[in-house]
Amino acid sequence: MQTVRARLYDYPKYYDAIFGADCKAEFDFLRAVFRRYAKRPVRRVFEPACGTGRLLVKLAAAGYAVSGNDLNPAAVAYCNRRLVRHGFPATASVGDMAGFRLARPVDAAFNTVSSFRHLESEAKARSHLDCVATSLAPGGLYVLGIHLTPLGRRDCDRETWSVRRGRLAVVSRLRSLGMDRRRRRERIRVTFDVSTPSRQLRLVDEMTLRTYTAEQFCRLLEATSALEIVATFDFGYDIGRPIRVDDRTEDVVYVLRKRPRPSRRPTAVPSAGAPDNRPV
């Protein structure tokens, strides 16, 4: 088998074979969350770091107006081709989730598979949350799925998935190569073993992800006062089973809601003759 060092996101067809194979649970969950927690009807949705658009296309087919961005042009092209093939406009664009602006506010945004951890600094993570908050209409939601770093030992530091799509078979292996908790970095290796009738190929990628304990994530969120946590779930995506996040939690889907605009109360004007003795 030929082995190639590669950036896996440059191979959207293989990425999608693995991660797009079964997204029904995520799709059903997102819709249930939109219905239950948004303070407005959800019609327009945005996915930062949308990748191949595996969820966007399903949401478009369900009647939502969808759009997304991603840093990787190959993923964006794949996503747009797929949207167009299904009869929808090509609404994915190349862009950085740490610095974007939408032309019109959306009712919900989502980011479910820890893509947020690609943002390598606190400043970028904060900027991302600010961009999302600015893009949401008041009462709108941001559904953010992330693997947290538990304070003790982790249950598992490797995962394997395999899938067959027609004559294409892909086996994906993810392994943590080590974590630097002080610098908040985790190095991971992901391999795709790809088999077609004419080709056997191993793609190997290594990437660095930022780490978050539950407390670090909450602190970050507090700095973005526009979003509040309204519910938390795990990657079982069961709307009937919210979870309580503690310092041992490993995967969590935060349902964040944009706070309503502060109401503008008229300032009290002291009446003539009654001196205003309030301290300044």
Ligand X SMILES: C[S@@+](CC[C@H](N)C(=O)[O-])C[C@H]1O[C@@H](n2cnc3c(N)ncnc32)[C@H](O)[C@@H]1O
Q: What is the Cα–Cα distance from 24 to 54, expressed in whole angstroms?
A: 10
Residue from 18, 33, 75, 125 binding ligand X (CB under 6 A): 75
User: Given the complex with ligand X, which of 106 and 268 has the nearer CB atom?
Assistant: 106
| Piece of 71-79, 160-168, 256-264, 269-277 that binds ligand X (CB under 6 A) | 71-79
Q: Which stretches within the chain are classed as H helix?
A: 12-19, 24-37, 54-61, 73-85, 122-135, 214-223
Q: How far is the CB of 138 from ligand X (least distance, A)?
A: 25
Residue from 70, 107, 186, 193 binding ligand X (CB under 6 A): 70
User: Given the complex with ligand X, which of 112 and 249 has the nearer CB atom?
Assistant: 112
Task: Say if strands 106-111 and 136-147 run parallel, antiparallel, or are unpaired.
Answer: parallel
148 contributes a contact to ligand X by CB under 6 A: no
Residue from 82, 118, 147, 210 binding ligand X (CB under 6 A): 118
User: Given the complex with ligand X, which of 109 and 227 has the nearer CB atom?
Assistant: 109
Which residue's CB comes closest to ligand X? 51
Angle CA(109)–CA(125)–CA(262) in degrees, nearest 5? 60
| Piece of 67-75, 153-161, 167-175, 205-213 that binds ligand X (CB under 6 A) | 67-75
Q: How far is the CB of 212 from ligand X (least distance, A)?
A: 16
Q: Kindly provide the b/e burial profile for residues 208-246, where b requires at least 16 CB atoms within 10 angstroms of the residue's own CB.
A: ebbbbbbebbeeebeebebbeebbbbbbebebeeeeebe
Q: How far is the CB of 176 from ligand X (least distance, A)?
A: 15
Residue 170: how many other CB atoms lie within 10 Å: 25
Residue from 6, 71, 201, 231 binding ligand X (CB under 6 A): 71
54 contributes a contact to ligand X by CB under 6 A: yes
| Piece of 29-37, 48-56, 84-92, 215-223 that binds ligand X (CB under 6 A) | 48-56
Question: How many helices, marked H, and strands, marked E, lie in the chain?
Answer: 6, 12
Q: Could you tell me which of 196, 155, 192 has the C-alpha nearest to residue 174?
A: 192
| Piece of 90-98, 132-140, 146-154, 215-223 that binds ligand X (CB under 6 A) | 90-98
CB 171 within 8 A of CB 18: no
Indicate the length of the chain as a whole number.
280
Which residues have a Cβ under 8 Å from the Cβ of 160 and sit 6 or more positions away?
171, 172, 173, 174
Binding mask 195-234 for ligand X (x = CB under 6 A): ----------------------------------------
97 contributes a contact to ligand X by CB under 6 A: yes
Q: What is the Cα–Cα distance from 199 to 108, expressed in whole angstroms?
A: 41
Note the Cα 76 to chain centre separation in Å: 16
Rule CB under 6 A: which residues touch ligand X? 9, 19, 47, 49-51, 54-55, 69-72, 75, 96-98, 112-113, 115, 118
